[in-house]
Amino acid sequence: MYVSVNYVANGWNIIEIKMDSIDRQLIVETQQGLPLVARPYQALAESLGISSGEVMERMSKMQSEGIIRRIAAVPNHYKLGYRANGMTVWNLCDDLVDEAGQRVAEQEFVSHCYRRPRYLPDWPYNLFAMVHGRDREEAEQHYRTIAELLGDQCQQHQILFSTRILKKSGFRLSKAK
Amino acid sequence: MAEKDATVELDAVDRQIINELQRGFPIVEEPYKVAAQQFGIEENELIARLQNLLDEGVLSRFGPMYHAEKMGGGLSLAAMKIPAKDYERVVEQVNSFDEIAHNYARDHQLNMWFVVATETPEEVARVIHSIEQKTGFPVFNMPKEKEFFVGLHFSV
């Protein structure tokens, strides 16, 4: 049985994604990671009672639909010596923000880049880009690089450093449903 | 600095593994064997090195990276402006929600920033409303309106 989920992507397009209960089980089984054995898809297949061919087919399909962004190693920036992460925020004209956002995202020190809503007067910023540096100075240098890149397009910007991690846990899909 | 936060030493092969496997991993019967070729090592060594990098915390994860919204889930970034005297109480109240995945103190008037992750998009609003009720402070909900594609590559 297919469960259809309608959702709004990027605020404009309605896309329908289909995931069934086997896809869901695959997600649950791989939330901690891909098995570190010679035939990981076979290992998943055995726990689900299906063939490895079906596991690979389903994972390829989820990847082409974007449900799986990619299968990959996720480095811990902090452990690699990149201890300063700054959330840089920018106020750009609505008609410039998308083109500027793409240019900012292309900088190699930017790990995430999103357009988000403003909350005037408290929060005038509509573009967010996370930058990473070995220390605050390096992160601030990246921030200045973005400021130069945007030039006159952006008159108002800030960098917010995290001063404390208050909570950090992963997103977990429950086994139920 | 706590010992577990110390920067670890990596050899050239580890660095290559971290750099290359951020890009992707094959979906074939023996993917480690295929991936190991580019590093000039055996399948078993790649598996052992990945296990070690995970144990050391150099990699926070190795596997499929899921897109929460495309899985049908809800995800948002939210911020609050909390006076110092109420801060610890509100931290505890906000963190008590299972739907709060990450929460950071930041140096701004909006001094608490957290990620709300829920199984359906509708639940985000419900969780935010509950947080406002519980803490007595407004929540600035800042869901992403557009995601810009980043290079994905963090070189070590």
Please name the helix (run of DSSP H) or strand (run of DSSP E) that holds residue A5, with its range, or none.
strand A2-9
State pLDDT tens for residues B133-154: 999 999 999 999 999 977 656 6
What lies within 8 Å, CB to CB, of B105 at 6+ separation is A162, A163, A164, A165, A166, B111, B112, B113
b/e A5-44 (16+ beta carbons within 10 angstroms → b): bebeeeeeeeeebebeeebbbbbbbbbebbbbeebbbbbb
Length of chain B, in residues = 156
Tell me if chain B has a CB within 8 Å of the CB of A99: no
A contact residues 5-64, partner B, Cβ 8 Å cutoff: 5, 7, 9-11, 17, 19, 27, 30-34, 36-42, 52, 56, 59-60, 62-63
pLDDT in tens, B40-83: 999 999 999 999 999 999 998 999 998 877 888 899 999 999 99
Cα-only R_g, chain A: 20
Considering only CB atoms, A56 lies closest to which of B27, B57, B149, namely B27
E runs forming strands in A21-153: 68-75, 84-92, 110-115, 127-133
Q: Which residues share a beta bridge with A92? A: A154
- Answer yes or no: is pLDDT of B95 > 60: yes
Over residues A121-135, mean pLDDT: 94
Q: What is the pTM of this model?
A: 0.78
State the span(s) of chain B assigned CATH 3.30.70.920.
69-142
The reply to whether residue A71 touches residue B156, judged by beta carbons under 8 angstroms, is: no
**C-alpha pair distances (Å), A13 with each of A8, A9, B150:** 6, 5, 21
Q: Measuring CA to CA, which residue among B140, B100, B107 is closest to residue B123?
A: B100
State how far residue B37 is from chain A, nearest Cα, in angstroms: 14
Structure ipTM over 0.95, yes or no: no
The larger pLDDT score, comparing residue A170 to residue B11, is at: B11
Which DSSP helix (H) or strand (E) runs through A1? none
**Contact: B154, A75; criterion CB under 8 Å:** yes
User: What pLDDT is recorded for position B6?
Assistant: 59
Q: Residue B11, class by beta-carbon neighbours within 10 Å (0-12 exposed, 13-18 middle, 19+ buried)?
A: exposed
Q: Find the helix or strand (DSSP H, E) in which A174 lies.
A: none
Chain B residues 90-129 within an 8 A CB cutoff of chain A: 91, 94-95, 100-110, 112-114, 117, 119, 121
When the pLDDT of each residue in chain B is averaged and rounded to a whole number, the result is: 91
The mean-pLDDT minimum among A62-76, A113-127, A139-153, A160-174 falls in A160-174
- Asked if A71's CB is within 8 angstroms of B71's CB, the reply is no
Any B CB within 8 A of A102 CB:
yes
Contact B110 A75 (CB under 8 A): no
Which long-range contacts does B136-139 make (Cβ < 8 Å, 24+ apart)?
B137/B80, B137/B81, B137/B82, B137/B86, B137/B90, B138/B80, B138/B81, B139/B78, B139/B79, B139/B80
Pairing of strands A68-75, A13-20: unpaired
Query: Is the minimum CB–CB distance between B42 and chain A shorter than 8 Å?
Result: no
Pick the range with the lowest mean pLDDT from A11-20, A21-30, A67-76, A90-99: A11-20
The CATH class that applies to domain B69-142 reads alpha beta
Helix (H, G, I), strand (E, B), or coil: what is residue B58?
coil
Instruction: Specify the DSSP class assigned to residue A34.
Output: -
Region for residue A38 given its phi and psi (left: phi exceeds 0; alpha: psi -120 to 50; beta: otherwise): alpha
Kindly determine whether residue A7 and residue B64, on different chains, have CB atoms separated by under 8 Å: no
- Tens of pLDDT, residues B14-37: 999 999 999 899 999 999 999 999
